[in-house]
């Protein structure tokens, strides 16, 4: 009975200590990662600002418009009308006379590019 009592106490202590230590590590790692990233981002922005200022002073009249990621995605997301028509026809063929409505057509983005996928496949093949 004494041994079992000790075992139960150890069970509880073990759960608590292991989880506490690892949760503490989660908090610390998350915090310091954030701090480091913020510091590094701030450093990068400062560098970019000084670079832009230098560009402006050397070429004051030249208009620079950098494409943002959102712009690029917007352009990529445009699905040609023919494709939408084909999708609509396919949906219509499946549902037939049942009432149906196509709300939106979205391009499915693979998590990786085809090249990246091929590389990962190559590297993880022995596993």
Partner 1 sequence: MEILTQLWQIFCHLFEESGFGKLSWENYVMVGISFILMYLAIKKQFEPLLLLPIAFGMCLVNLFPGIMGLPSTEMLTEAEMVARHLDPSTYTTTVYNGVTYYNHVEYGGLFYYLYQGVKLGIYPPLIFLGIGCMTDFGPLIANPKSFILGAAAQIGIFLTFIIATALGIFTPNQAASIAIIGGADGPTAIFVTTKLAPELLGPIAVAAYSYMALVPIIQPPIMRLLTTKKERSIVMGQLRPVSKLERILFPIIVVVLVALLLPDAAPLVGMLMLGNLFKESGVVDRINKTAQNELMNIITIFLGVTVGATATGKVFLTIQTAGIIALGLFAFCLATACGVLFGKLMCFFTHGKVNPLIGSAGVSAVPMAARISQKVGQEENPGNFLLMHAMGPNVAGVIGSAVAAGVLLSVIKPG
| Interacting residues toward partner 1 by CB under 8 A | 3-4, 6-11, 13-15, 17-19, 21-26, 28-30, 32-33, 36-37, 40, 110-112, 117, 120, 124, 127
> Judged by CB, which is closer to partner 1: 21, or 67?
21
Least separation in angstroms between CB 61 and partner 1: 38
| CA triple 56-59-64, angle to 5 deg | 70
**Pair 21, 14: CB distance under 8 Å:** no
**Pair 117, 99: CB distance under 8 Å:** no
Distance between CA atoms of residues 21 and 18, nearest Å: 5
Least separation in angstroms between CB 113 and partner 1: 11
Distance between CA atoms of residues 66 and 52, nearest Å: 12
SS3 of residue 125 by DSSP: coil
> Judged by CB, which is closer to partner 1: 7, or 93?
7
Least separation in angstroms between CB 33 and partner 1: 6
> Judged by CB, which is closer to partner 1: 99, or 110?
110
């Amino acid at each position: 009975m004494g041994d079992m009592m000790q075992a139960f106490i150890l069970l509880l202590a073990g759960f608590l200590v292991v989880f506490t230590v690892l949760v503490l590590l989660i908090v610390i790692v998350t915090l310091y990662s954030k701090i480091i990233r913020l510091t590094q981002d701030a450093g990068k922005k400062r560098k970019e600002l000084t670079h832009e200022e230098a560009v402006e002073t050397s070429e004051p009249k030249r208009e620079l418009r950098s494409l943002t990621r959102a712009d690029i995605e917007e352009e990529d997301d445009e699905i040609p009308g023919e494709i939408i028509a084909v999708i609509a026809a396919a949906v219509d063929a499946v549902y037939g006379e049942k009432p149906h409505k196509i709300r939106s057509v979205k391009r499915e983005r693979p998590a990786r590019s085809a090249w990246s996928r091929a590389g990962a496949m190559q590297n993880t093949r022995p596993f």
